[in-house]
Amino acid sequence: MSENAMDLLKSEAKNLNFYYGEYQALKNINLTVAEKRITALIGPSGCGKSTFLRCFNRMHDLYPGNRYDGQITLYPDDVNILNPKIDPIEVRMRIGMVFQKPNPFPKTIYENVAYGLRVRGISNRRKLDEKVEKALCGAALWNEVKDRLNSLAFNLSGGQQQRLCIARALATDPEMMLFDEPTSALDPIATASIEELIAQLKEQVTILIVTHNMQQAARVSDYTAFMHMGEVVEFADTNTIFTNPSQKRTEDYITGRYG
C-alpha cells in the first residue's frame, strides 16, 4: 500500500541501546519513521516497544538511572534528539504524545487543549480559541463538546477523553506524534473511532504507534516493526509483515503462536 521510494524520512533510530540502570531494555535498534505515514510497533508485553517509543520524546529523562546510547535523528534538520545537549523540553515541543490511559488534566475541556499553547507562551484569547477549535476538530471531538468547552474533562466518556488528549497534543502542531497503546483502555466502539482518527491524522503529522493489538496495526499502519526481547526482529511495510514475514519469530507471533 505504500511506495517506500516515495516516502520521505522523518526520523531514524541508529544503533539505539537503552538501559534502565543496569538492565538493557533496547538492543541495537535501527528503524526509520517515514514522514506523514503511520509506523506501528508490535510485539509481546515487555518486548520494549513502549520503552522505544518513549525514547522519541525523552520521557526516560524524567526518571533517574536511565541511559541512552546511539541516536535518534529527526529530519529535516538532522538533529540527534538523544544528544544530552539537546533539551528534552525542545524535543517534547516538537514531538507530541498520547498515552495508554486517557490522562486529561482535571481542568476544563478548553484548558486541556489550550495547555500546550499556554506552555508556549500563547495567551491571546482569540488565538487560543482558534487553535483549540482547530485541534478539537482535528480530533473529531468539536461537535460533541463545542457547547460545553468549560465543563470538566472528566465528564467525558473514555473515548472522548482519549480524543481530547489527541486534540491536546495536536493543538501545538507537532511534527510527529507518539501513541502508546492509545486504545487499550477503551471499548471496541471508542477504539474504532480512535483508529479512524489516527488514520486521518497521517495527512498532517508523522505517527509512531505502539499497539499490542495486531489487527489494529494491520488496519491503520503503513509500516510495522515487530519487536521481541528489546530487539527489532523485523521491520517492513505492513503488508509484507502480515502476509509474508521473512522471520520465523514474526510469523509465529502474527499467527498467534505466542505473545
Partner 1 sequence: MPGMSVEVMRGLIARRKRWDIIFSIIGLFAMLGGVVTLVALIAAMAIDGLPRISWDFFTSFPSRHAAKAGILSAWVGTTLVMMVTVLSAVPLGVAAGVYLEEYATKNWMTDLIEINVTNLAGVPSIVYGLLALGLFVYQLDLGQSILAAGLTLAILILPVVIVATREAIRSIPGTIREGAFALGATKWQTVSQHVLPYSTAGILTGVIIGLSRAIGETAPLITIGALTYIAFLPDTPFKGEFPYVSFDWLTSAFTVMPIQMFNWVSRPQEEFHYNAAAAGLVLIVMTLIMNALAIYIRYHFRKRIKW
Using CB under 8 A, list all residues that contact partner 1.
57, 59, 62, 64, 89, 92-93, 96-97, 99, 101, 103-106, 115-116, 119-120, 152, 154, 165, 168-169, 172
Q: Cβ 51 to partner 1, closest distance in Å?
A: 14
Q: Which of 57, 155, 154, 53 is nearest to 103 (CA)?
A: 154
Of 169 and 217, CB closest to partner 1: 169
Of 172 and 183, CB closest to partner 1: 172
Eight-state DSSP code of residue 234 = E
Q: Cβ 28 to partner 1, closest distance in Å?
A: 26
Of 90 and 129, CB closest to partner 1: 90
Q: How many CB atoms lie within 10 A of CB 52?
A: 26
Amino acid at 9: L
Q: Which of 54, 5, 87, 36 is nearest to 200 (CA)?
A: 36
Q: Cβ 33 to partner 1, closest distance in Å?
A: 18
Q: Cβ 157 to partner 1, closest distance in Å?
A: 13
Q: What are the grid coordinates assigned to 217, written together?
A: 496495526
Alpha helices in 43-108 (DSSP H): 49-55, 88-94
Tell me how far apart the alpha carbons of residues 55 and 82 are, in angstroms, rounded to a whole number: 8
Of 168 and 249, CB closest to partner 1: 168
Of 49 and 92, CB closest to partner 1: 92
Q: Which SS3 state, helix, strand or coil, does residue 159 take?
A: helix
Q: Cβ 61 to partner 1, closest distance in Å?
A: 9
Alpha helices in the chain (DSSP H): 49-55, 88-94, 109-119, 125-138, 142-145, 158-170, 188-201, 214-220, 238-243, 248-254
Of 16 and 59, CB closest to partner 1: 59
Q: Which SS3 state, helix, strand or coil, does residue 245 take?
A: coil
Q: Cβ 170 to partner 1, closest distance in Å?
A: 11
